[in-house]
Amino acid sequence: MSSVPSAPRQLPVPYGPPISLELAKRIMSAAEAAAGANNLPQAIVIVDSGGNLVIIVAPVFKTVV
């Protein structure tokens, strides 16, 4: 009986350590300042190295009829 060779095991991609809430807040502040200075609408999301949500800011847009 012949055996089928198994596929080589893939190692996880090293993305680095998770981001702290304190660092996320500093990054958020800089992103808000940059968006405001350029008069851009903003919805800013910061995730950690695993893709998990750390902090989000999304203003509510109101339409006047």
Can you give the pLDDT at residue 2?
59
Asked, for residue 16, whether it belongs to a domain, the answer is no
Alpha-carbon gap, residue 14 to 26, rounded angstroms = 24
The residue with greater pLDDT, 15 or 63, is: 15
Tally of domains in the chain:
1
> Can you tell me whether residue 44 is helix, strand or coil?
strand
Residue whose structure tokens are 């991609």: 13
Residue 11 lies in a domain: no
Please check the confidence at residue 39 and state whether its pLDDT lies above 80. yes
Q: Quote the distance between the C-alpha of residue 8 and its chain's center.
A: 30
Residue 10 resides in a domain: no
Residue 25 domain flag: yes
- Ranges assigned E (strand) in 1-65: 44-47, 53-57
Does pTM top 0.85 for this prediction? Answer: no
Residue 26, exposed/middle/buried by CB under 10 A (0-12, 13-18, 19+)?
exposed
Position 27: which residue type?
I
